[in-house]
Every structure is written in structure tokens, then in C-alpha cells.
Chains A and B, each alone.
Chain A
């Protein structure tokens, strides 16, 4: 496609604020006909807000959206759809209590067209009479995409559609997006994954703090994009750490955490491993291989059917997260919103973990609490400008608050479930540096991450889960993406259940 291709959509000077929070200051975007255009930026840069302004979910405070030369203001996503702009939002837009077929009827999308696009995405076997509530998240995203494609949009917008998709499903999305470009339509593609963007998109627009800071062709522009996303100074400070050499862990009498034959329903069967103090153990897996259940069982959120969980050599009976916390096992869940009190202050959020026992219902020692909270906040360099309500913090800072909670309390083993999902590179590196620091001080860390290259950067050792079993184990130095992926697809020979530490 040529650089002189027709301009299809133009966004100029769009601003939007929510109460005291400014989401967009001056967003610019130029989308050509027949291109895949990446929209990039750190968390809170305003990408999703811009998408919602374009598709009419809410009006902009200032600025213009021009579609094929005409200034347009959509009052609802339905109006945008009629004009040929359809978005697959970050959270699924299917009504949970309606069946898939009813959802299509609601959106006035013909069923035959949806069936056709579902076939293209390889999900034609899905039963259309099932309620959206009963379908898992990755497939909901694909159905959402099928619906979007079925209304034949001139402009398709995908907001982090691959964030929670396993690799195989992501590939199908990429194929569909390329096919859409081939037919001469345009795609706006939002993703945090640089590799995806480089492989898929023609050009990228980069947002920082609600302002468009640059437009570039994506080929060989990774460093440039990162610099623009973060601003020059931050980028320097957050220089990438080197891959870790396989650290020799001293054999210990009693590991910080040990699992013996943990089984949970069909999700986990006979999972055993040891995690030493001072070690960071990475878990790699495709979507839905039992990693969620594994973390939940260890954190006391779910009860395992059989098997043992030992902390420092002591077998645990975990009926409630409180039992796990008492044993020093603390969880940082994937979804920050599951762990935070959005309307309360940083202080109350961080101090929450100390209120778990009945004895803590009495008067609070305010001064001691403030000291404890402040030291944790400082250690994590949390931006305190909006400290009265954590919902006003950026995603990265919110995640830091969750971690600060456990730093302010006491723990022996930190269970981190995809702590950097949807977080910008700067904060991501800060979080990994912190995990390293925590481990250096003698804590154990169990880390699941959906981004395989990070295992090598952040961990000492890696375990791969496949269909609820351990399908591979290797030191971090050998945990390159190819090896992890093979094991994650169950291709490597399973290791013995009792892996040597």
C-alpha cells in the first residue's frame, strides 16, 4: 500500500476529562484506507478513551473526528456501527444473560454473516444457543470479533484483543486482521506487545499522557516507539535488565513452599514442585492450563481435592485466604480490581491486610500504621498525587499498591499471577526489579506470566504447565520462548513429578 493512500479517519485535538482526571489532552490520529494502524502508549495514556470517543461511547470535550472528509459525532456505538466503525472493546460487549444468537439479534447483525466469520476464526463449532455467561473469556473475545467482522466495518478497532488470548487463538486473530486489510479495509490495533505490533501493523501512533507524541512506520522502530511511549528520561531509567544467569540455589532442608501431588478437579492433577527461599520460580502456560487454579489453591481461594501444600516444611490446611496469609503465602492476583478498594485511599488499601483477624477490629494505632504504609509506598515509588482514591491511579500504580499491601504486612512467599498484564514497560521493569529485591532479601516468589519472554528475564527457574500437569522444567537460562512454547503445547517429554531442586 502506498503512502498516498486515501485518508479515511482523522482525529484532531480530541480532549476528554472524567471529573478531575484528564484522560486525553490532544489526541491526533490519521488512519489511511487499507492499513493496519497500531495505537500505542503506556497504561493510562488514553488509548481506550480515544477508541470510545471515536465510536461514540461518550462525547469528547474538545476536538473533531472526521470520517472520509466529513466531521462526525456519533452519539452511540450503534451509530458508529452504521457508519462502518466497529470496535472490539477491552471488555467483552456481549450481554451475559442472552444467548449468542440473541446477542447478534440485539446488535442487528445477521446470523448467517456471523456464522461465516466464526468459520474464518475457527470457532464455528460453538453453539449459538448458549448464553454468553457460559462461555470462557478468550472465546467471548473471538465471538465479539466475529460479530464486529460480520457487520463489515470500514474501520475495525481492536482494543487489546490479544491480551488474554493463548498463542493459537492470537494467530487466528492476526490472520483475520490481515485478511481484513487485504479486502481494503482499515484496522486500528491496540496492543502492549511490541512483537505483535511490529509483525502486524503498517504504522503506529503513539500516545503519552493523553497527547499524540508521534507517528511512525513500525518496521525496525521498536526502540523509537518505546522511547516515545515512555519519554526519553524514563526510557533510560528503565533500561532492560540482562537475562538472568541460572542462579545456583543452595539446597535447603525445608523449601519455602512445597507442593506434593496437588489435584483440583480436572484442572490440576498431581502437581508437585519445590520453591526455595530467595528463589523466583516462573510458571509458563497457555491460557487455561490450570495455572489459575494452582495459584488459587496455594492462596487459599480454592480448596484442592487432594495433595499437600507445605510451607517451610509444615503441611497446611487452607480453607480461607486468611489461612494462607498466616502461613506467609500472599497473592497478587491478575486483575488489580479484584484486590483493590477503588474508592478508598492508598493508605487504607495498603493497611487492609492487617485487619484480617478479629483482634484487629479495635482501635487503630494511627501513627504506627502511617509509618508502615509510608515506607512501603516509598519503596515502590508509588505516585501519591491521587492518593485519596486509588481508582484515580494509573494501572501500574494500582498494581504497586497491591504489592505494597504485602510489603507492609509480612510474608515468606509472594504469589504473583500475571502481575504485569496490561502494564507499561517502565512499571513492568520496576515490578520485576522489586521481585528480584524481595527475593534477594530471602523471600520466595512464584510468578506466572502470560508473556513468555519475561520468564527468562525475571526468574531463576521455570516450570511449564500443560493440561493441569507439569510438562517441563528448566533453569531460566534455557527458558527461551521456543522451549517454553514446546512444553506449553505438551510437546516435550513430561518430567518426573518430583523435580529436583
Chain B
């Protein structure tokens, strides 16, 4: 038993995958015949935007930060895309990504240069973006928002009716993340800054540059996630990504990245995002009222994170 525990401690990712398998098995036992290729395909489709948000969140949490503006940025990017679709797909895409860029730069300036606590900084920019979008929407009432076909394909399309298109985007981002975190100087620096900012300074590292780029990347990933989301729903509204704020943080924590920085990685976040997606699916299958679903979801996230904290102590 203790040996098994030691094995799990050494390879926490295995424990996560095991948990995921248990969840999937649980569904299949409770409702035989649920787990089909189509179900798996849908799970991946829905997990992708969360995992992309989680990628950005992983980047900032590795440095000991957090980004609470990701939901507003994702929503904003989606809304800007839909309302500018008339001026051409390229323009609309550029505009919505530039929202991510701008918010990222502001967050980066605040956190990296002026050393504002990430929580407060991103809370502030999140409010700013959210409010600005509300005001913006009132000027856009006349126009007819619609989602470009290419984004719809990205967010909802499936190749051969089975392989979700957004899986390719996710896979590319995941590959980049894993390579960057473990094999590049930038990745090393994210861990280093998260572990001991002062030591990095003394070692001659310009910490602010690392953090600045980090927050810009996070906001850009949030904007991309917003695009995938709006492609999936095909309707831009101003609360599109609100429900993703908690899961974006939760999938990183469940995936084993320390909120204090310096420890963790993206592979855990991937499994974390899958676990949360499957959990949602289970709760939907259970056919309980929405409030109860919400309570259960929160309680399970909390117990998972607590179990993880005890396991890795």
C-alpha cells in the first residue's frame, strides 16, 4: 500500500490519468452504453477551450501568479470577432486577438514592471474589459453579429464526423507548451521566477521581461480559447466564458501546478481539463437540477484539490 502511495507520489500524472479512467468507467457503469467514440469525441471537443485557457493559466501560475481576466478576455475576443465579422474574417480575427494582446500588455506592465499583485491587477483589467464590452455592445446593437464559418469549423467541426477540429489546435498548443516548459530557457525561467524571484534577480535575470511575456502569452491564449468557444456555440454573448473562470484555475490546480509557483507543468493541466469535462458530463447525465449540479461540481473540485495537496505533501 505504502509502496503504491510512493509510486503515486513520484508519478502524480499517473494518478490523475487513473482518476480520469475511474470517472469514465463510472459513467459507463451508471449508464451503460454512454461511452461511445462519439461521446469521447465530444468530450475532447469541449475540453479543448478549457485546456487552452488552462495553458495560459498554467504559464502564469508557474510564476506564482494568477490571471482572473482570462474569462473576460475570452468573452471579449469572441464578441469582437462576431461583431466585426462583416469587415472580413482576417480583420475580425486580428481585432479579437489584439484585445488579448492589449490586455496582456497591460497585465504584464502592472505585474512585471510595477509589481502589482497579479490577483488585483487581473481583477482590475477583467472588470475593465467586462465593462468596456457592455458599453461596446450598446453601440453594436444595430449590427448583426455572426461567427465566421472558419471559426465555426474550428470550434464545432469534426473530421470524418469524429475527430474534433479544435483538437488539432489544442495538440499544437500542447506540444509547444510542453517543449517550451521543459526544453527552453524561457520555460526554465518561468519555474525559476516562480520559485524565487530574488534569486533570479541576483543571478542576472531580468525578471520583468519573463513576467511580461508570460502575461501577454496568457492573455493571447485566453483570446484564442474565446474564439474556439464562440465557434462552438455560434452565438456571441457577454457571459460566454464567465463559467470558465473557476475551471480554468481548477484544472491547473488539480493538474498539480502549485499556486505559489515553481512546481507543476502542462501535462497535468491537460488531464485536469479532461477530468473537469468528464465531470460536467457526469453531472449532466445525472439529470439533477442546475443548482445542485453547481454545488456538486464545486464540492468535487474542492475534494480533488484537497486530495492532491495531501498526496504531494
Residues of A within 8 A of B (CB): 19, 299, 301, 320-322, 324-326, 331, 333, 337-344, 348, 351-353, 355-356, 358, 360-364, 366, 405
Does chain A have a CB within 8 A of B293?
no
Pick the contact of A355: B183, B188, B313 (CB < 8 A): B188
Q: Tell me the bound Cα distance from A344 to B313 in angstroms.
A: 16
* Stretch of B17-25, B112-120, B169-177, B201-209 with 4 or more beta carbons under 8 angstroms from chain A: B201-209
B150 → A minimal CB distance (Å): 32
Asked if A351 and B188 sit within 8 Å, CB to CB, the answer is: yes
Q: Tell me the bound Cα distance from A405 to B200 in angstroms.
A: 12
Other than the known A342-B195, A343-B262, what 13 A-B pairs have Cβ atoms closer than 8 Å?
A320-B204, A331-B202, A338-B198, A339-B199, A339-B203, A341-B195, A352-B188, A353-B203, A355-B189, A360-B185, A361-B186, A361-B189, A364-B185
- Chain B residues with a Cβ closer than 8 Å to the other chain, count: 24
Q: Tell me the bound Cα distance from A301 to B204 in angstroms.
A: 10
Residues of A within 8 A of B192 (CB): 341, 344, 348, 352, 355
Asked if B205 and A356 sit within 8 Å, CB to CB, the answer is: yes
Asked if B202 and A355 sit within 8 Å, CB to CB, the answer is: no
Does chain A have a CB within 8 A of B146?
no
Asked if B262 and A325 sit within 8 Å, CB to CB, the answer is: no
Q: Tell me the bound Cα distance from A356 to B189 in angstroms.
A: 9
Between A and B, 29 residue pairs with Cβ closer than 8 Å are: A299-B202, A320-B204, A320-B206, A321-B202, A322-B204, A322-B206, A325-B204, A326-B204, A333-B202, A338-B199, A339-B203, A341-B196, A341-B199, A342-B195, A343-B262, A352-B192, A352-B200, A352-B203, A353-B203, A353-B204, A356-B204, A358-B206, A361-B189, A362-B185, A363-B183, A363-B184, A364-B184, A364-B188, A366-B183
Find the A residue at minimum CB distance from B182: A364
Residues of A within 8 A of B198 (CB): 338
Asked if A355 and B185 sit within 8 Å, CB to CB, the answer is: yes
* B189, B205, B262: most-surrounded residue (chain A CB, <10 A): B205
Asked if A341 and B262 sit within 8 Å, CB to CB, the answer is: yes
Find the A residue at minimum CB distance from B195: A341
B133 → A minimal CB distance (Å): 34
Q: Tell me the bound Cα distance from A344 to B203 in angstroms.
A: 15
Q: Tell me the bound Cα distance from A342 to B262 in angstroms.
A: 9
Does chain A have a CB within 8 A of B191?
yes
Q: Tell me the bound Cα distance from A339 to B313 in angstroms.
A: 24
Find the A residue at minimum CB distance from B184: A363
Asked if A361 and B191 sit within 8 Å, CB to CB, the answer is: no
Residues of B within 8 A of A358 (CB): 206, 209
Residues of B within 8 A of A325 (CB): 203-204
Pick the contact of A405: B183, B185, B203 (CB < 8 A): B203
B30 → A minimal CB distance (Å): 38
Residues of B within 8 A of A (CB): 183-186, 188-189, 191-192, 195-196, 198-206, 209, 258, 262-263, 313
Residues of B within 8 A of A348 (CB): 188, 191-192
Q: Tell me the bound Cα distance from A342 to B202 in angstroms.
A: 15
Asked if A343 and B195 sit within 8 Å, CB to CB, the answer is: yes
Find the B residue at minimum CB distance from A345: B191
Find the B residue at minimum CB distance from A343: B262
Residues of A within 8 A of B191 (CB): 341, 344, 348
Residues of B within 8 A of A352 (CB): 188, 192, 199-200, 203, 205
Q: A344-B192, A352-B192 are in contact. Are A301 and B184 (CB under 8 A)?
A: no
Find the A residue at minimum CB distance from B193: A341
Q: Tell me the bound Cα distance from A355 to B184 in angstroms.
A: 10
Asked if B201 and A321 sit within 8 Å, CB to CB, the answer is: yes
- 7 smallest A-B Cβ distances: which pairs? A356-B204, A322-B204, A341-B195, A325-B204, A361-B186, A360-B185, A343-B262
B182 → A minimal CB distance (Å): 9
Find the A residue at minimum CB distance from B191: A344
Q: Tell me the bound Cα distance from A325 to B204 in angstroms.
A: 7
* A322, A324, A361: most-surrounded residue (chain B CB, <10 A): A361
Q: Tell me the bound Cα distance from A363 to B185 in angstroms.
A: 6
A225 → B minimal CB distance (Å): 34
A365 → B minimal CB distance (Å): 10
Find the B residue at minimum CB distance from A326: B204
Q: Tell me the bound Cα distance from A339 to B195 in angstroms.
A: 11
Residues of A within 8 A of B203 (CB): 321, 325, 339, 352-353, 355-356, 405
* B196, B203, B205, B206: most-surrounded residue (chain A CB, <10 A): B203
Q: A355-B189, A361-B185, A366-B183 are in contact. Are A344 and B202 (CB under 8 A)?
A: no
Find the B residue at minimum CB distance from A301: B202
Q: Tell me the bound Cα distance from A81 to B213 in angstroms.
A: 51
A364 → B minimal CB distance (Å): 6
Pick the contact of B184: A324, A338, A340, A362 (CB < 8 A): A362
Q: Tell me the bound Cα distance from A301 to B201 in angstroms.
A: 8
Q: Tell me the bound Cα distance from A322 to B209 in angstroms.
A: 13
Asked if B183 and A321 sit within 8 Å, CB to CB, the answer is: no
Q: Tell me the bound Cα distance from A301 to B205 in angstroms.
A: 12
Find the A residue at minimum CB distance from B262: A343
Q: A344-B262, A362-B184 are in contact. Are A355 and B195 (CB under 8 A)?
A: no
Residues of A within 8 A of B199 (CB): 338-341, 352
Q: Tell me the bound Cα distance from A234 to B29 in angstroms.
A: 63
Residues of A within 8 A of B258 (CB): 343
Q: Tell me the bound Cα distance from A364 to B188 in angstroms.
A: 9
